[in-house]
Amino acid sequence: MATLLFEIGTEELPSWFVRHADDAIVGIVSARLGGAGLAHGAIRRFSTPRRLAVLVDDLAAFSERRPDVRRGPAESAAFDANGRPTKAAIGFARASGVDPADLLVEETDKGRYVFARRELGGDPAAELLPPLLAGVIDDLPAPRKMRWGDGDVAFVRPLAWLVALLDDAVVPVRFAGIEAGRTSRGHRFLHEGPVELAHAGDYPDALDRASVSADRSERKASVIASAESAAATAGLLLERDHALEEEVTDLVESPSAILGSFDARFLDLPEAVLATVMIHHQRFFPTREQGGSLAASFVAVSNNRVSDDTVVRAGYEQVLRGRLDDARFFWDADRRATLAQHAWALAGIAFHKELGSMADKVARVAKATRRLAELLGVSKEEAAVLKQALPLFRADLATQMVYELPELEGTMGCAYARAEGLPEAVAIALEDGVLPRGPSGALAASRVGALLSIADRLDTVTGFFAIGRRPSGSADPFGVRRAALGALRTLTAQGWRVPLPKVLQAVASSYSAPVVEDDVLADVERYLWDRVAGLLAEEGIAPMVVRAAVHGSRSVIGAARRAHLLQGLVAVPGFSDLLTLHKRAANLAKQTGGAARVKPGLFRDPVEGPLHDALPEARRGVERLMAGVRKQLAPWDLGHGPGAELHGLDAAVAEVVRLKTPLDAFFEGVMVMVDDAEVRGNRLALLGEVADALSDLGALSYLEAPAEA
């Protein structure tokens, strides 16, 4: 048993890569060791901007022994008339790593064949490791790699050094012209000279002494703790920002927080502007007063620990002042025109050459939004807000602030609307309309904002489909997939029970060039339902249940609720039995031409009447289930799961499941396809009613009863 250290030293890695590699490296190392048959204990991982490393405990000295059996040619082809191995047999033996004389003949169900048997494994770890560890570098997931110097090897950033130690012995790994050794490096500024390692196990302490905080989760905790305590020295609270915490953790090897401040006159800029400048542009944490308002101070997390931080702080403050000056300039300049005036400039901003300018897009969105509002129904107040918001929607795209800080789109629309003194609901709708900003971003809370968001996104999806630019595989240059997901999430969260085709017609009818043909719109609808299915799958719904829900629904919220209901129902034993019978009934009922009415006078067998009599109860059960689901599952952010679980529906489920007994008896007792056309037609009509009684639960034919005998 030995301890293995492998450290990949690099020039500074991108922060997102450090995080991904930190997540992936243990799995990669463990897969490689497993593949080589090397047993091992726990694997610890380390990562900083300049290194990725693993420390493997209890590594076996030799790979595990395992038998290797390969079948070769048939005996008749393997030996000649004199019993000597043929060329085919010799070739097979060589390829299998055995001597031709050691080939065995065994009986199989296809005849007698030649076999090569040998034992693999038992190789020393020290021999297996060099190529194995080089392979780990190749396996690290990176979407974009680079070359450097004279070499043709690619990695995320140039490799600088490698350390590979098996206990106290160097493992001779070679990669990109670098030979692994026992020499690591410490912090770029806080540690002078190399870090020599006598033994693999010395690694954590040696790095610690070299001012490198190499355990990522410890470093992250220390980033947060030091930033919070820096803020606390001025009685301030740190503004927590998850993404910033992650990023800063991977920008430093030794975090040290510094509190700085800026001129309080900048505090009259909108908070979102201040936060964006600090967080996105400078990677500074904003701070708040105990009372809640943003403070004129920030916390920077430095990668260096200087004895006197006056110079560093002054540097931070000067850069931030420059940025805030810029922001103030845009804020003042943009407000010299109204949002309505900025909206004129949208004609000069292209959306796509075949889909017109942003002004064209916004005009289409306005039409579509009005139609959607009619379809969904809005209050008088909401209609008034909509009327004011529509001509200003996305006008902030033409402002200097959004040109310079594009992540503030929508936020600035809201801020400028407030500054103009427009009603608060209008300002909020303008920001809500650009939400969500990402796959997990917050959704529009206001109904008016949601209408704008849905119309805008579906305009994008429909338009690109209409000009033949639908996304394919991973390629989605126009963000169509993102737009589709945003629209569907918003639609579901609003709980609007409107058929998706009607929503799409409202959007498509605002297009005049290009005209959206019916087949294109049908294609868009299929694409959207596929995305709904994907979002439901992310909520853990089984694939067949997703299909039954999607194919049995016209509105997105309906599909989402049915999915969760059916997911529960398929687990009820009696329900799956009923499904089998129901499927049989539905299949037979398809043979009836029209919707014939059931005539009890034509019942000829005692099992027909009870089935007919049981239908009202089953229908009531289905109604109660659907009502229960609507009541219990409040609209939610699709893909993220409803916040509630279904409960108390057992009685309704029982009402539905009770249909099983008379239906079973019916199939046991009567022949449906009898010669008497009247009786046959009547029985088919009865089965048609059975199928119809459960149809509101979804397209049940997609559900397979698990234990069908």
Partner 1 sequence: MRFQEMTMALDRFWADRGCVIAPPHDTEVGAGTFYPTTFLRALGPEPWRVAGIAPSRRPADGRYGQNPYRFQYYYQYQVVLKPSPSDVQDTYLASLYHLGIDPLAHDIRFVEDNWESPTLGAWGLGWEVWMDGMEITQFTYFQQIGGIDCAPVSVELTYGLERLAMYLQGVEHAFDVEVAPGVTLGDMRADFERQHCAYNFDHVDADLQRLLFDRFEAETQRLLGLDLVHPAYEFALRCSHAFNLLDARGVLSHTERQGFVQRVRRLTEACARAYLSARAAAAPAEVA
Give me the residues that bind partner 1 (CB under 8 A), please: 11-16, 49, 144, 146-150, 152, 157-158, 160, 189, 251-252, 282, 284, 300, 302-304, 306, 311-312, 314-316, 318-320, 322, 325-326, 329, 348-350, 353, 357
| CB nearer partner 1, residue 329 or residue 344 | 329
| CB nearer partner 1, residue 131 or residue 151 | 151
CB of 306 to partner 1, least distance (A): 6
Residue with the two structure tokens 């904003």:
286
CB of 394 to partner 1, least distance (A): 15
User: How far apart are the C-alpha atoms of 649 and 571, rounded to whole Å?
Assistant: 14
CB of 189 to partner 1, least distance (A): 5
CB of 48 to partner 1, least distance (A): 12
CB 386 within 8 A of CB 451: yes
CB 456 within 8 A of CB 433: yes
H-helix segments, 105-194: 125-139
CB of 194 to partner 1, least distance (A): 13
CB of 94 to partner 1, least distance (A): 39
| CB nearer partner 1, residue 345 or residue 699 | 345
User: How far apart are the C-alpha atoms of 656 and 695, rounded to whole Å?
Assistant: 12
| CB nearer partner 1, residue 135 or residue 158 | 158
**Would you say how long the chain is, in residues?**
709
| CB nearer partner 1, residue 277 or residue 565 | 277
CB 487 within 8 A of CB 433: no
CB of 157 to partner 1, least distance (A): 7
User: How far apart are the C-alpha atoms of 371 and 28, rounded to whole Å?
Assistant: 53
Q: Across the chain, how many H-helices and E-strands are there?
A: 27, 18
Cβ burial of 1 (10 Å; 0-12, 13-18, 19+) is exposed
40 phi/psi in degrees, rounded to 5: -155, 165
| CB nearer partner 1, residue 160 or residue 699 | 160
| CB nearer partner 1, residue 349 or residue 419 | 349
CB of 397 to partner 1, least distance (A): 11
CB of 557 to partner 1, least distance (A): 37
| Two tokens, residue 321 | 């002042």
For residue 71, give every residue at least 6 positions away whose Cβ sits within 8 Å of its Cβ, in sequence order, or none: 108, 113, 114, 115
| CB nearer partner 1, residue 325 or residue 645 | 325
CB of 177 to partner 1, least distance (A): 9
| CB nearer partner 1, residue 16 or residue 344 | 16
Q: Which residues of 345-356 are buried (b: 16+ CB within 10 A; e: fewer)?
A: ebeeeebeeebb
| CB nearer partner 1, residue 122 or residue 348 | 348
CB of 460 to partner 1, least distance (A): 16
With H, G, I as helix, E, B as strand and everything else as coil, classify residue 412: helix
H-helix segments, 271-309: 271-276, 282
With H, G, I as helix, E, B as strand and everything else as coil, classify residue 570: coil
User: How far apart are the C-alpha atoms of 454 and 465, rounded to whole Å?
Assistant: 16
| CB nearer partner 1, residue 297 or residue 494 | 297
User: How far apart are the C-alpha atoms of 563 and 573, rounded to whole Å?
Assistant: 18
CB of 159 to partner 1, least distance (A): 9
| Two tokens, residue 416 | 């400028």
| CB nearer partner 1, residue 63 or residue 399 | 399
Q: Which residues of 527-542 are buried (b: 16+ CB within 10 A; e: fewer)?
A: bbbebbbbbbeebebe
| CB nearer partner 1, residue 252 or residue 536 | 252
Q: How far is CA 380 from CA 384, 385, 387, 421, 453, in A?
A: 6, 9, 11, 21, 20
User: How far apart are the C-alpha atoms of 593 and 681, rounded to whole Å?
Assistant: 9
| CB nearer partner 1, residue 244 or residue 425 | 244
Cβ burial of 286 (10 Å; 0-12, 13-18, 19+) is buried
CB of 435 to partner 1, least distance (A): 24
Q: Which residues of 97-126 are buried (b: 16+ CB within 10 A; e: fewer)?
A: ebebeebeeeeeeeeebbbbeeeeeeeebb
Residue with the two structure tokens 């490393």:
53
CB of 248 to partner 1, least distance (A): 10
